[in-house]
Structures are given as C-alpha cells and as structure tokens.
Amino acid sequence: MIRLEDIHKSFDQNEVLKGISTVFETGKTNLIIGQSGSGKTVLLKCIIGLLEPDSGDILYDNRRFAEMGQKERTNLRSELGMLFQGSALFDSLTVEENVLFPLRMFSELNNKDKVKRARYCLDRVGLKDIYSQFPSEISGGMQKRAAIARAISLNPKYLFCDEPNSGLDPLTSIKIDELIMDITKEYKMTTIINTHDMNSVVTMGEKIIFIYQGDKEWEGCKEDLFYAKNEKLNEFVFASKFFQKNTENAFKE
C-alpha cells in the first residue's frame, strides 16, 4: 500500500501538483488518469523518487519516505519496478542482458541462477527465443514486455507504469494491460499505472484517481466511473463517442 499525503510540486512559477492525497492498494491495479499535461508523470516521478516533492510525504506500507536514511532509500529502490513510457531498455545490451542487469547489480544469486531467473521473467511475459536480440531489433510491444520482465526481475513489491500502452495497437495494448494485471495479482504487488487510454481504464481500473490540472478531482473504481457526478471527469470520460453510446449498458450485464 502506498499512501500520498498532500503532495505539492512546482517548477519555478508553474504549480504542477496542488496537494494530492490518496491511497494505492496492494494487489490491485491503481490508475492515475487525466488529460495530457495534467501532471500524471510528475506525480509518478514524485512517488518513485525521481523528483523530490516540495512538500507532502509518501508512505510505503507505513514507512515514511521523508524519514528514511540514505541506506533505507537504497533498499526501498530494490522493491520498486518501473515501466517507462518509452520502455527505456538499455540499447547497448541484449534483451536478456537488460533483464539480467538489475540481477547483476543487486542480486546475491550465482551466475547460473541469475540467468535462470532472467529467462523465467522473459518467459513469463511471453518472450521466448529472442534472448540475444537487441532492443532496436524488436517491436514496440516486445520492448514493453522486455521492460516489464526487467521491472519484475527483482520481485518488486511496487510496480509503476507510465502509459504502458502508448504507441501500441489496441490488441497489443489489451495484452499488455492483461499482463500487468496478472502479474499484479500473481505477486501481490501494489501497481500504479498512468494512462489516458479509456480502454485500459475500463479493463484495469480497480482503483482510479482522476487528476485535473494538478488537483485530484475524483477517485473511485471503474464501476462508478460512468455514473460519477463530476463535470470534468465526465468531459474526460465521454470525450470518446464510443463511450457515450456504450456506457448505458457497459456494466449492466
């Protein structure tokens, strides 16, 4: 469980996050949704510590980030896995070496077991037989899978995904979404996902927070999403004609 307490973040005069508090639950896929530029990526970067919030605190299973020492923070890092918007695979390393990288850096396993673990992770995300290919030689969807494999190689407790299906076709997107959901359940992770893709929202939104211009406008689950009495949320949700027509019977069956 990750708890946010009143997170503020500004860049010079530009106040990007205006006090966000919420709870992300364990074993669930938690979504952060909102328009482009609403501050989703900044919020995610604050949670994982790539950016320092100006004020507010983050609790990882009741451990306060602000109170942690350098050593505890480094330890915490080994519990985090992150899937970047552009996959962020190391392009000088092969797919297998990419997944091996965190293991080589931090794992106490012997070499053989590290390779075994890396291959297990790659198999888990459905990537067989491309161990020795370079990231530039595989498709965007495969890169996402490889990045997921790398993110889970150290058995993280917390998984973060920044727009996991940007740049992917709808079918591949759904597969990636399902993979993330399955992995979340399988390893009981606290997963936080940034997205503005409504398809992902209705498949994965076990817990949703809606960000509007740096404020949390709404929170709930996908079942409530279409009945919410919030103008800004409605505008966001019903921007797509498809959802205007289909919401009536979306959750009826």
Partner 1 sequence: MNLLEHVGRYSILMYQTFSLPQKWKLFFKQTVKEVEKLGANSLPITFIISLFMGAVMTMQTQMNIENPLLPSYTVGLVTRDTLLLEFCSSILCLILAGKVGSNIASEIGTMRISEQIDAMDIMGVNSANYIILPKITGFVLFIPLLVIWSMFCGLIGGYFISLMTDLITPATYIYGIQYWFIPWYVYYSLIKSVIFAFIIASVSSYYGYYAYGGALDVGKASTNAVVNSSILILMLNVILTKILLS
**Contact flag: residue 170 with partner 1 (CB under 8 A):** no
Which residue in 30, 41, 184, 191 binds ligand ATP (CB under 6 A)?
A: 41
Whole-angstrom CA distances from 203 to 36, 172, 227, 250, 251 are 20, 14, 17, 12, 12
Cβ of residue 4: shortest distance to ligand ATP, in angstroms?
Answer: 15
**Contact flag: residue 36 with ligand ATP (CB under 6 A):** yes
Binders of Mg ion among residues 37 to 66 (CB under 5 A) are 41
Closer to ligand ATP by Cβ: residue 86 or 170: 86
* 176 phi/psi in degrees, rounded to 5: -65, -45
**Contact flag: residue 165 with ligand ATP (CB under 6 A):** no
Which residue in 43, 47, 89, 211 binds partner 1 (CB under 8 A)?
A: 89
**Contact flag: residue 200 with ligand ATP (CB under 6 A):** no
Using CB distances below 5 to 8 A depending on partner kind, what does residue 183 bind out of Mg ion, partner 1, ligand ATP, none? none
Residues at the interface with ligand ATP (CB under 6 A): 11, 14, 16, 34, 36-42, 196
